[in-house]
Amino acid sequence: LLAFKQGITDDPAGLLDSWNKGEKDCCTWRGVRCSNQTGHVLAIQLRNNPRANDLDLDGGGTALTGQISPSLLSLHYLERLDLSMNNISGPTGRMPDSLGLLKNLRYLNLSGMPFFGTVPPHLGNLSKLHYLDRCV
């Protein structure tokens, strides 16, 4: 998760402030949900609230900016990923094919993100996926 944070170049709302080496239990970090039994990371929910941008008086916005880190692939038990309404992209501007390797993913919301192109065919490998939103 710290490698994912390193890919974020701007966090104006401080969503990832709790993500630090000093707090070793990532299950207490904002936007992270873990299994009570195993401690595995089950969900990353970092949806940006676009309405907060309307209240942002300095005009900088509240969206996370950066790139999706391949380190997410190490989260083998991840069931839910919501990065919607942020300015996070893949390394080529397209949705990363590697998301198709998250075999336990049930919910994927990347709506409002700056991807272009088609949905990668690798997402078809996600047999447990029930919800996909990548609409702008």
From first to last of its 136 residues, the chain has per-residue pLDDT tens of: 999 999 999 999 999 999 998 888 999 999 999 999 999 999 999 999 866 544 444 445 789 999 988 888 899 999 999 999 999 987 777 788 888 899 999 999 998 888 777 778 888 889 999 998 876 5
Predicted local distance difference test score (pLDDT) of residue 57: 45
Distance CA 44, CA 48 (A): 12
Domains of the chain: 2-133 (3.80.10.10)
What integer pLDDT is reported at residue 55 of this predicted model? 47
At residue 66, the pLDDT reads 93
Q: Which residue has the tokens 């209240």?
A: 55
8 Å CB contact between 110 and 119: no
Do residues 101 and 73 touch, judged by C-beta distance below 8 A? yes
pTM: 0.87
Looking at residue 62, its pLDDT comes to 87
Q: Are 115 and 94 in contact (CB under 8 A)?
A: yes
pLDDT at res. 53: 46
For residue 131, report the phi and psi dihedrals to the nearest 5 degrees: -140, 125
